[in-house]
Amino acid sequence: MLQESDDPLDPPEPPEPPGSETDQEHLRLLNAQTNLILSSTKKYKCHSCEAPDCTTTAPCTSALECWKSRVRDSNGVERLSRGCITNAEQIPLYCSVQSYSSRSGHTKRHADGQYAIDCCTGDFCNNGSFPDLPPIVYKGQVPPYLDSTSYIMKLTLAILGPVLALGLLGALVLLLMRHTHRKRLMSARNMADPETYYASDDLLRVTAAGDSTLREYLEHSLTSGSGSGLPLLIQRTLAKQISLSECIGKGRYGEVWRGVWHGENVAVKIFFSRDEASWSRETEIYSTVLLRHENILGYIGSDMTSRNSCTQLWLITHHHPLGSLYDHLNRTTLTHHQFMKICLSAANGLVHLHTEIFGTQGKPAIAHRDIKSKNILMKLNGSCVIADFGLAVTHVQATGEMDVGANPRVGTKRYMSPEVLDETINTECFESYRRTDIYSFGLVLWEVCRRTLSNGIAEDYKPPFYDLVPNDPSFEDMKKVVCIDQQRPSLPNRWASNATLSGMAKLMKECWHHNPNVRLPALRIKKTLVKLASSDIHVHLDLDI
């Protein structure tokens, strides 16, 4: 085995790159000398095979040196080999570095390879045991799935951490800005209008006194004394205190929105500026002394505000999520008990409107002039309230004063009485207006009865005169049907076999009689309904009427 640097088998040092003809000649002489030495070197026989069995492979002859090696690949698999070197130039490549390891130990299974090689001289000297490699060492080995989980957790924290921190910071900034804005707004209001401060302070003081509800606002110390809404001073600030949530209705007058005021739902009727007369009239009627009643829509207040450079006229009332009687009848059929509760409560409200209450804190008689199912709202307990007083007329018997108002609007054509359609109504007599309400109320009773079940049967909802006039009838259409032809809504045959519905049919006919003087007064209608309800075995009255 060649170990010394001056051994004749060691290859000479590589010559410097030839720079002249003398250098090239020197290189040729050196190569010739090396070949001469190698040609005279002794040759050996060596095993040349892949272990463990080398008996089936022919040995290598004319070898300058023999070698045996152990190689471990990156997967930890070891391979044993024997062989020979027949070219002197390969000796430094095989034997100068007898072992190699990329690192002292593997931190992972898939690491770089290792090898060890022994060179020797002599026939079959590469027989025997193979060189050893250092053992595989796994430093701090962690199962792959734990590495993956840890990496994912770290990555998630690295992403979400800053996002959450920025979100919290943004929320704090927004809350601070909102608080500052409110303080500035309240300060500006107080400086601009001392009365506004007084009204807001009054509301806050009542709120702080306990868990005040909307009913407490309207029925106790904050009422104007009439039981008809908040004091005018507080009404001036309502629009600023209410946030509109959703539009729940539209009409020719404007829109109705659900709003939130001091945590309570309210209905906000927003009039177009062109319909200011209706807004003024409703506000005036709702402000009437002693108007408040369980079957009259609860009034909170009115306000005038500006939104998007447009003047808006607001009328704020109680909110009834079931909507109008018209909506309710389109949605569902009625039991006898339900239909009687609707009719009785609506009649109860009409009686309160039509009746004058005498005294220093009395109430004038009021005629609605636009009674229809869309102007009657459903309460959650199944009773009704009358709404929309834009066309109302008031009358005080003691003075004979009748206030018709300056509203150019007319009623709904489909519900107009014959004397209104043929223009024979005595506009100087208040009783004439009350009798038009009775006619319209008879049509509402017809709508309700059609949707009432008897023997499991009920008709689909239809408006009055649905089979005689178009969807949006003209004045002339209604005049021909009601006045000239003197037709009325048809009564289903099934009503004849039901005592209650048969009695209701008779009541309707007396309400919509062509002659106004024959029509029943509201109080008589109420008494007749109570009598029908008490005789109906399906109805158990729970109204204090």
Q: Verify whether residue 10 is a known catalytic residue.
A: no
Contacts of 426 (CB under 8 A, 6+ apart): 432
What pLDDT was estimated at residue 529?
96
Pick the residue with more confidence: 273 or 513?
A: 513
pLDDT for residue 272 is more than 90? no
Q: Of the given ranges (165-169, 220-224, 259-263, 467-471), which has the lowest mean pLDDT?
A: 220-224
What pLDDT was estimated at residue 464?
97
What pLDDT was estimated at residue 160?
87
To which residue do tokens 């720079």 refer? 19
Pick the residue with more confidence: 112 or 276?
A: 276
Alpha-carbon torsion 144, 148, 151, 153, what sign? Answer: negative
d(C-alpha 352, C-alpha 545), whole Å: 12
d(C-alpha 343, C-alpha 411), whole Å: 21
d(C-alpha 281, C-alpha 271), whole Å: 12
444: amino acid identity, one letter:
V
d(C-alpha 354, C-alpha 395), whole Å: 9
Pick the residue with more confidence: 21 or 397?
A: 397
Pick the residue with more confidence: 3 or 459?
A: 459
Q: Looking at 275, 303, 370, 437, which residue is catalytic?
A: 370
Quick one: DSSP state of residue 220?
S
pLDDT for residue 504 is more than 90? yes
Name the band, by pLDDT with cuts 50, 70 and 90, for residue 459: very high
What pLDDT was estimated at residue 287?
87
Mean pLDDT of 302-307: 86
Share of the chain above pLDDT 70, in %: 77
Name the band, by pLDDT with cuts 50, 70 and 90, for residue 104: very low
pLDDT for residue 225 is more than 60? no
pLDDT for residue 76 is more than 70? yes
CATH number of this structure's domain 1-12+38-160, picked from the four choices 2.10.60.10, 1.10.3720.10, 3.90.1150.10, 2.40.50.70: 2.10.60.10
Mean pLDDT of 30-37: 61
User: Measured between alpha carbons, how far is residue 165 from residues 161, 169, 170, 182 in Å?
Assistant: 6, 6, 9, 26
Contacts of 536 (CB under 8 A, 6+ apart): 336, 340, 499, 500
Name the band, by pLDDT with cuts 50, 70 and 90, for residue 23: low
Domain boundaries along the sequence of the chain: 1-12+38-160, 184-319, 322-545
Averaged pLDDT of the chain: 81
Greatest mean pLDDT among 135-139, 196-200, 211-215, 385-389? 385-389
Greatest mean pLDDT among 80-94, 110-124, 456-470? 456-470
Mean pLDDT of 432-451: 97
Mean pLDDT of 259-272: 93
Domain over 322-545 is classified CATH 1.20.1090.10: no
Q: Of the given ranges (46-50, 72-76, 223-227, 233-237), which has the lowest mean pLDDT?
A: 223-227
pLDDT for residue 224 is more than 50? no
What pLDDT was estimated at residue 490?
96
DSSP string, 437-478: HHHHHHHHHHHHHHTB-BTTB-PPP--TTTTTS-SS--HHHH
User: Measured between alpha carbons, how far is residue 430 from residues 364, 395, 415, 512 in Å?
Assistant: 11, 7, 19, 18
Pick the residue with more confidence: 217 or 531?
A: 531
Name the band, by pLDDT with cuts 50, 70 and 90, for residue 473: very high
Share of the chain above pLDDT 90, in %: 46
Domain over 184-319 is classified CATH 3.30.200.20: yes
d(C-alpha 178, C-alpha 182), whole Å: 6
Which residue from 213, 204, 392, 203 is spatially nearest to 318, judged by alpha carbons? Answer: 213
Which residue from 373, 375, 255 is spatially nearest to 315, judged by alpha carbons? Answer: 255
